Amino acid sequence: MPFLEIDNLQKSFGATKILKGVSLEIEEGGFLVLVGPSGCGKSTLLNTIAGLEPVTGGEIRIAGKRVNDLHPSKRDIAMVFQSYALYPNMTVGQNIAFGMEIRGVPKPERDKAIADVAGLLQIDHLLDRKPSQLSGGQRQRVAMGRALVRKPQVFLFDEPLSNLDAKLRIDMRTEIKRLHQRMGTTIVYVTHDQIEAMTLATRIAVLKDGTLQQYGTPAEIYNNPTNIFVADFMGSPAMNLIPATIGINGKGATVELARDGEKPISLPLGKASDALSPYRGKPVTFGIRPEALTDPDSADRDATAVATADCHIEVVEPAGSDTFAVTNLGGKGVVARLRADAHVQPGTVAPLAFNLTKAVFFDPATEMRIA
Amino acid sequence: MSRPSADVATRNGVFARAFIYAVLILFVVYYLLPLYVMLVNSLKPLDEIRKGNMLALPHVWTIAPWLEAWSTAQIGVQPIGLKPYFLNSIMMVVPAVAISTLLGALNGYVLTKWRFRGDNVVFGMMLLACFIPFQIVLIPAARILGLLGLAGSVPGLILIHTVYGLGFTTLFFRNYYEAFPTELIRAAQIDGASFFQIFRRILLPSSGPIIVVTVIWQFTNIWNDFLFGSSFSSFDSIPITVALNNLVNSSTGVKAYNVHFAGAILAALPTLIVYIVSGRYFVRGLMAGAVKG
């Protein structure tokens, strides 16, 4: 049974529609990440779950109970804000205990709860300091402590890591995941960083312009994007989206990729997918992730359909762990991910292996997935 | 750079600096001279003043004019000095400043953190109150004070100064709270704090600089006000500004300049003290409001 349900949620500010009917649900203990570019409505969605913004239409249920009209403090949620929102005039300990103080929890009980949370987050030595005396990472921990101490049914995180430097961000990411595994509380997490979304989530909801683009597990979102937007947004470097044509030869369907001044690459699709048959001779968008386009030696041995073609390498970018090579197909720069010591030189021709089991096809007009 | 030119540059720098200091000192003297004259002459016997030379230091130092101004000088028809009127002013200023500052803070809180439809219109109209000349409201205000039964009383003066100051105090606090992070309010809401708990526990403790600005501004304006004081006070509620006028303008007898000087300094003392104690916060707070607002 779903624990947090969002049912056809709508939100408008005046005539501007921010959320245009979003429906989601997450099981108890799940980690739901709302991801999308700025202005997609993800933070607004989180604020409506928190009760900080009233909804225009639809329903929010937590544990089967409708919470639309409940005050934020009555929804049994806790929120970690992007700016941490620590009360500047209170010490760390007072910050953590403020909610309990308001609810009239007796002092000994408060002190014990503070001590528990401080131990868990390793901030015991900071309890008497003011927020202005803390570093970014410490503030982040205190903000989480203030949320944890409530023992809520749902945690809400609003881009909690975006104010940290790159290294600390990765450390805190791991820490949030560890906390989630230990506490098992349901989390809704907003981010614009697709790597955070992939690494943390049990479910990802990709939003754009107030509509849900796709909802699924990280693997589903990554491997089976429903449209060009999701394919392009998730993954770094982004998926290659190449204008192509579906052809046919003696052995079955092929995908034709144009090349500069040479005849097009023709890749056999093997057992031609039925979904592609209506597109024969028509343009499609061929999507292949950089890791599915590699040097023949590192090609996936388990893949059933790997086709190799010679490509003109324009740029080589060694990244340490991998080497990225850029070639030009269908008039666009296409990134291939090679092993670190692959021998490729810019300006030469090298064979690249296309793992066609991982390839996806989109209709260029509707931008929706075909196959 | 060669040596001689460096020397010339330093010498030019010294001249420029000396010039700047000379100008600054000139202006300091210019502004402090009136205070000096008042202070020096308030410490002289009257016949020394009559001999002329207002700038000279006293031959005989005396605090008799101060004592006279404070407790025995003839004000209007009574020889009671400025003391009772000084107390009237205190009794008027302290509540008026406190109430108008508190209400201004509440207004600023609502106008920035509890937005409602038309909040900017309301704020605009409150701002307009800052620009209404005092004289226009004299007659309506007199009528309202009469209806409320507060005419000629200290509470009446408190009311009119509070109402008149609200435009400014609201402006100060609104601009200050505009820059106050809304996420803090939201965090407090989730923590279950009520409207007034958020105001008292989160907002007010962070409002030090703007409270100082508002208090100085309101204190100075209300303490120095003459028009409302002379229009709406009666026998036992006359503020010090009006009393000082009555002292200086009394047409009978000899003009006791030394007493007048002492009285004028006494009347100005509270605002001076407020400035000296919290002046640096004043500048800081004004800047904060100006830049962030």
For residue B293, CA distances in Å to B100, B119, B279 come to: 20, 16, 21
Q: For chain B, which residues lie within 8 Å of any Cβ of chain A, measuring from their own Cβ?
A: 181, 183-184, 186-193, 197, 201-202, 205-206
Residue B157 C-alpha from the chain's centroid: 16
Query: Helix (H, G, I), strand (E, B), or coil: what is residue A151?
Result: coil
Give the tens place of pLDDT for each residue, A222-263.
Answer: 999 999 999 999 988 899 999 998 887 766 788 888 887 778
Closest chain B C-alpha to A80 CA, distance in angstroms: 8
The dihedral over CA atoms of A63, A69, A73, A75, expressed in degrees to the nearest 10, equals: 0
The reported pLDDT for the residue numbered A271 is 59
Closest chain B C-alpha to A73 CA, distance in angstroms: 4
H or E segment to which residue B73 belongs: none
pLDDT over 70, % of chain A: 98
CB contact (8 A) between residue A79 and residue B181 = no
Considering only the beta carbons, identify the residue of A47, A81, A89 that sits closest to B187: A81
CB A158 within 8 A of CB A46: yes
Per-residue DSSP letters for B4-48?
Answer: HHHHHHHHHHHHHHHHHHHHHHHHHHHHHHHHHHHHHHHTS-HHH
Give the tens place of pLDDT for each residue, B99-135.
Answer: 999 999 999 999 998 988 888 899 999 888 888 888 8
- The pLDDT confidence band at residue B3, using thresholds 50, 70 and 90, is low
Question: Residues 6 or more apart from A92 whose CB is under 8 A from it?
Answer: A86, A123, A126, A127, A128, A129, A130, A131, A134, A142, A145
Considering only the beta carbons, identify the residue of B183, B197, B201 that sits closest to A83: B183
On chain A, the residues whose CB falls within 8 A of the CB of B187 are 79, 81, 85, 87, 146
* Mean pLDDT over each residue of chain A, to the nearest integer: 89
Residue of chain B whose Cα is closest to the Cα of A88: B206
CB contact (8 A) between residue A99 and residue B192 = yes
The reported pLDDT for the residue numbered B290 is 45
Q: What domains are there in chain A, each with its CATH number?
A: 2-233 (3.40.50.300), 240-362 (2.40.50.140)
Residue B262 has pLDDT above 60, yes or no: yes
The DSSP code for A369 is B
Give the tens place of pLDDT for each residue, A88-116.
Answer: 889 999 999 999 999 999 999 999 999 99
Residue A269 has pLDDT above 50, yes or no: yes
Residues 120-149 of A with CB under 8 A from B: 146
- Rounded Cα distance, A182 and A291, in Å: 33
On chain B, the residues whose CB falls within 8 A of the CB of A83 are 181, 183
Closest chain A C-alpha to B289 CA, distance in angstroms: 19
In terms of C-beta density within 10 A (0-12 exposed, 13-18 middle, 19 or more buried), how is residue B212 classed? Answer: buried
CB contact (8 A) between residue A87 and residue B202 = yes
The reported pLDDT for the residue numbered B247 is 86
On chain B, the residues whose CB falls within 8 A of the CB of A85 are 181, 183-184, 186-187
The reported pLDDT for the residue numbered A137 is 87
Residue B1 has pLDDT above 50, yes or no: no
On chain A, the residues whose CB falls within 8 A of the CB of B203 are none
Chain B touched by A324 (CB under 8 Å): no
Residue of chain B whose Cα is closest to the Cα of A49: B190
* Mean pLDDT within A257-279: 78
Q: Evaluate the omega torsion of the peptide bond into residue B239 and state whether it is cis, within 30 degrees of 0.
A: no
CA dihedral (B89, B91, B97, B100) positive or negative: negative
Please give the residue that has the higher pLDDT: either B289 or B33: B33
Closest chain A C-alpha to B271 CA, distance in angstroms: 30
Residue B285 has pLDDT above 80, yes or no: no
Give the tens place of pLDDT for each residue, B231-241.
Answer: 998 888 899 99
CB contact (8 A) between residue A89 and residue B190 = no
- Rounded Cα distance, B18 and B8, in Å: 15
On chain B, the residues whose CB falls within 8 A of the CB of A146 are 187, 191
Options 2.30.42.10, 3.50.50.60, 1.10.3720.10, 1.10.8.60; CATH of B72-292: 1.10.3720.10
Residues in chain B: 293
* Mean pLDDT within B241-255: 82
Q: How do strand A306-318 and strand A349-355 relate by DSSP bridges?
A: antiparallel
CB contact (8 A) between residue B186 and residue A146 = no
Considering only the beta carbons, identify the residue of B183, B193, B206 that sits closest to A102: B193
* Mean pLDDT over each residue of chain B, to the nearest integer: 87
- The pLDDT confidence band at residue B291, using thresholds 50, 70 and 90, is very low
Residue A305 has pLDDT above 60, yes or no: yes
| Number of CB atoms found within 10 A of residue B235's CB | 9
- Give the start-to-end residue ranges of the domains of chain B: 3-65, 72-292
Residue ranges of alpha helices (H) inside B179-194 are: 182-190
Closest C-alpha to A228, from A369, A40, A370: A369
Residues 102-121 of A with CB under 8 A from B: 102-103
- Rounded Cα distance, A230 and A216, in Å: 12
Strand ranges (E), chain B? none
- Could you tell me the two tokens for B197? 């708990």
Residue of chain A whose Cα is closest to the Cα of B185: A85
CB contact (8 A) between residue B186 and residue A82 = no
* Mean pLDDT within A155-171: 89
- The pLDDT confidence band at residue A121, using thresholds 50, 70 and 90, is confident
Residue B289 has pLDDT above 60, yes or no: no
Considering only the beta carbons, identify the residue of A71, A78, A89 that sits closest to B205: A89
CB contact (8 A) between residue A79 and residue B193 = no
Per-residue DSSP letters for A42-56?
Answer: HHHHHHHHHTSS--S
CB contact (8 A) between residue A146 and residue B187 = yes
- Rounded Cα distance, A213 and A41, in Å: 12
Chain B touched by A42 (CB under 8 Å): no
Whole-complex ipTM: 0.81
In terms of C-beta density within 10 A (0-12 exposed, 13-18 middle, 19 or more buried), how is residue A240 classed? Answer: buried
- Rounded Cα distance, A4 and A45, in Å: 13
| Number of CB atoms found within 10 A of residue B2's CB | 6
Question: Residues 6 or more apart from A330 whose CB is under 8 A from it?
Answer: A242, A243, A244, A257, A258, A286
Least confident of A220-224, A354-358, B28-32: A354-358
CB contact (8 A) between residue B183 and residue A78 = no
| Number of CB atoms found within 10 A of residue A98's CB | 24
CB A157 within 8 A of CB A80: yes
Question: Residues 6 or more apart from B52 whose CB is under 8 A from it?
Answer: none
CB B13 within 8 A of CB B233: no
Residue A29 has pLDDT above 80, yes or no: yes
Residue A126 has pLDDT above 60, yes or no: yes
Q: Which of B115, B185, B190 to mutate to test the interface with A (most CBs of A within 10 A)?
A: B190
CB contact (8 A) between residue B183 and residue A52 = no
Residue B74 has pLDDT above 90, yes or no: no
- Rounded Cα distance, A195 and B257, in Å: 82
- Could you tell me the two tokens for A14? 């005046």
- Rounded Cα distance, A91 and A95, in Å: 6
- The pLDDT confidence band at residue B163, using thresholds 50, 70 and 90, is very high
Give the tens place of pLDDT for each residue, B6-24.
Answer: 677 778 888 999 999 999 9
On chain B, the residues whose CB falls within 8 A of the CB of A82 are 183
Residue in this structure with the two tokens 């666009």, named with its chain if needed:
A332
Please name the amino acid found at residue B172: F
Residue A209 has pLDDT above 70, yes or no: yes
CA dihedral (A27, A30, A36, A38) positive or negative: positive
